[in-house]
Amino acid sequence: MWAHKINLFAYDEEGKLFVQSYFTKSSPCKQCTVKLLDANQKELLAFATDDEGKASAKLPSAEFDIIVEAGMGHQTQTHYVAQSHTKEEAKVLPSDTPLDKMLLGLVIIVFFFGVLYWIKRKPRHA
């Protein structure tokens, strides 16, 4: 159902903040609200992403929180320090469903239910 996780990428260049947000690499967070909050969670700036999930704005301060709201109960939040990320870093979007984590999840399921079976198993009579 609802895209569960919103991915957020940000970098700044020459006093301007660039944000990119997406659910999956092929599904950008279109027209999503981006809010910049100060340390007291007071709104500094609010704007929306375009149809590619991208947005930019003037840096409001050196350090702030970025919130992306996709509606329907989905949002993501991150703390941002200006000049902490380069444009090149932001271009490299991570895989949204890493295979290794999926395999790890399956291994944990097998392990969990294996332990559960061991606990619940009926005693076998000879």
Nearer to another protein, 16 or 105 (CB): 105
The two three-digit tokens of residue 58, written as one number? 């003037």
Comparison of 10 and 70: residue with beta carbon closer to another protein: 70
Q: Would you count residue 47 as binding another protein (CB under 8 A)? A: no
* 54 belongs to the binding site for another protein (CB under 8 A): no
DSSP 83: T
76: contact with another protein by CB under 8 A = yes
66 binds another protein (CB under 8 A): no
Quote the tokens at residue 21: 């947000």
Q: One symbol per residue from 18 to 37: x for binding another protein (CB under 8 A), - otherwise; what is it? A: -----xx-xx-xxxx-----
Cβ-based burial of 15 (10 A; exposed 0-12, middle 13-18, buried ≥19): exposed
Residue 80 carries which side chain, given as an amino acid letter? Y
Residues 6+ apart with CB under 8 A from 57: 16, 17, 19, 34, 36, 45, 47
Is position 95 an interface residue for another protein (rule: CB under 8 A)?
no
Contact 96/24 with Cβ under 8 angstroms? yes
- Of 47 and 113, the one with the shorter C-beta distance to another protein is 113
Binding site for another protein (CB under 8 A): 1-5, 23-24, 26-27, 29-32, 70-77, 97, 101-102, 104-106, 108-110, 112-113, 116-117, 120-122
